[in-house]
Amino acid sequence: MSYAPTTGRAAPPPAPAAPPRTAWREGVDRVRAAATTEPGRLRIIGAVLAALVVAFGAVTAWQVSERQTAADAVAEHSQPLSADAAQVYRSLADADTTAASGFLAGGKEPAQVRQRYERDINTASKLLVRAAANTEGSASAREEIRKINQLLPAYTGLVESARANNRQGLPLGGAYLRYANDTMRDQLLPAAGRLYEAETARLGEDYGDAKAWPWVAIGTGVLALGALGWVQRRNYRRTNRVFNHGLLAATAASTVVLLWLVVGHAVARAELNDSDDHGAKSLRVLNEARIDSLRARADENLTLVARGAVTVDKDGSNKGKDAYEVSYGSRMADLVGDAGGGAKRPAAGSLLDQARGLADDGAGRDPVEAAATGVREWQVRHKAARSADDAGDYKKALEQVIGAKDSTGESFDVVDTQLAKALDHEQREFQRAADDGRGAFTAMAVGAGVLAAVGAASALLGIGRRLSEYR
């Protein structure tokens, strides 16, 4: 044991070594030391300003790119897929309608009717292939496509059996056609409807992403401009100099980016809203109207095919009535309302009334009004055909339904043609507005990045000018 030379006591243990300083700690200490001098404070201010301006540009480029991608998806992906899904539904419904029309013609089925049926089936098949190739990420859409592909051969097989029996004059053909129609109504069309809903929901999501305000970028821009304003005010109070050219240039660049971001997004949002209100929504209503007219026509044909063999079996006022006639009335009510054929305009809230209200010009309204007139004429002719059939004159009723002149089929063709014309117009209106909307984002992300880089460099140069005064 050692002793202190003067006291004879034991020597105290040596003090523990101080822990090594970390790089982070040394950096903090240097910043603190620098902040005690004006040049050090200016360097810190310059670094923070440059970082804020660069962050503003980066966040702006990121959020604008996301919205531009969503706007591109609206115009090039989700809306075309939604339109294809609607076309699948229309093609299937038209095939069912045409099959019934051909059956009513008996063994002398017109060639154009057969060709129309085959064209509908081929169109639906091709669109299903395209939808399957472009419906990535949507399990529900893929499942509906699988169901339709599985059921379509069964449906066409039943139709062919109906045609074969009908050509031979066998009453079994009517049963096969009703089975085919049940397959279409109970399985194929519901699956096609769910496919359309899935694709339309995706379109809505893309619209929402494209129109969402870039609040993070706007907030970062306001923060950067606030910091630039504070630094210039601080500079003025310390030097009495009103302008610092570097800081002024940084402020101008940041202001341009923020204004470009807000105004550009507002323009894009307005155009996308227009494409939705007067394009996508009009298309949805017109698609529903055209499908209802197709299904009403199929119901009308099947009323003559079934001859009262299919009745409503549920409780209610329609129990015991012809099921196809009841369904026809329901479709017509959806199209133009509950008013009879004497009404000149579609009832408020009906599909054709909605379509007319959504059309924003005469080119969109005129075909809808012509279709409504055609529906009213169709109702009058249908009533006459039903009166003839109820009186036992089947031949006259058949002529009034599928005849070449003054028949319900002629009225249906007018309605279908006018609705197709309205759909083509609204599709063009959608495309124009959607292209204008996504065009407002053009070069914004790149421009924001370039201007942010210029702003950050200008801020550093402005601070550097002040630092040079201390040398």
Mean pLDDT of 126-135: 86
pLDDT one-digit tens code per residue, 193-223: 999 988 888 888 999 999 999 999 999 999 9
Residue 19 has pLDDT above 70, yes or no: no
Q: How confident is the model at residue 5 (pLDDT cuts 50, 70, 90)?
A: low
Mean pLDDT of 163-177: 85
Residue 300 has pLDDT above 70, yes or no: yes
Residue 146 has pLDDT above 80, yes or no: yes
48 vs 171, higher pLDDT: 48
21 vs 164, higher pLDDT: 164
pLDDT the model gives residue 12: 63
DSSP state letters, 395-428: HHHHHHHH-SSSSHHHHHHHHHHHHHHHHHHHHH
User: Which of 62-71, 302-311, 393-402 shows the lowest per-residue confidence on average (mean pLDDT)?
Assistant: 302-311
User: Which of 119-123, 349-353, 462-466 shows the lowest per-residue confidence on average (mean pLDDT)?
Assistant: 462-466
pLDDT one-digit tens code per residue, 79-116: 888 889 999 999 999 898 888 888 887 767 788 888 99
User: Which of 5-9, 58-62, 182-186, 433-437 shows the lowest per-residue confidence on average (mean pLDDT)?
Assistant: 5-9
pLDDT exceeding 90 applies to what percent of the chain?
35
52 vs 308, higher pLDDT: 52
pLDDT exceeding 70 applies to what percent of the chain?
86
Question: Across all residues in the chain, what is the average pLDDT?
Answer: 84
Residue 254 has pLDDT above 60, yes or no: yes
Number of helices and strands in the chain (H, E): 16, 0
Q: How confident is the model at residue 1 (pLDDT cuts 50, 70, 90)?
A: very low
Residue 153 has pLDDT above 70, yes or no: yes
Name which of 224, 257, 102, 243 is nearest 164 in CA terms.
Answer: 102
pLDDT the model gives residue 108: 74
Name which of 407, 400, 405, 403 is nearest 385 in CA terms.
Answer: 400
User: Which of 296-300, 444-448, 462-466 shows the lowest per-residue confidence on average (mean pLDDT)?
Assistant: 462-466
Q: How confident is the model at residue 354 (pLDDT cuts 50, 70, 90)?
A: very high
Mean pLDDT of 415-443: 90
**Coarse DSSP helix, strand, coil percentages of the chain, rounded to the nearest 5 percent:** 80, 0, 20
pTM value? 0.78
> Which residue type, as a one-letter code, is found at position 425?
H
Instruction: Say if residues 238 and 271 touch (Cβ distance below 8 Å).
Output: no
Mean pLDDT of 144-173: 90
Torsion angles phi and psi, residue 7, rounded to 5 = -110, -20
DSSP SS3 for 107: coil
Residue 40 has pLDDT above 90, yes or no: no
Name which of 471, 14, 27, 105 is nearest 301 in CA terms.
Answer: 105
pLDDT the model gives residue 62: 94
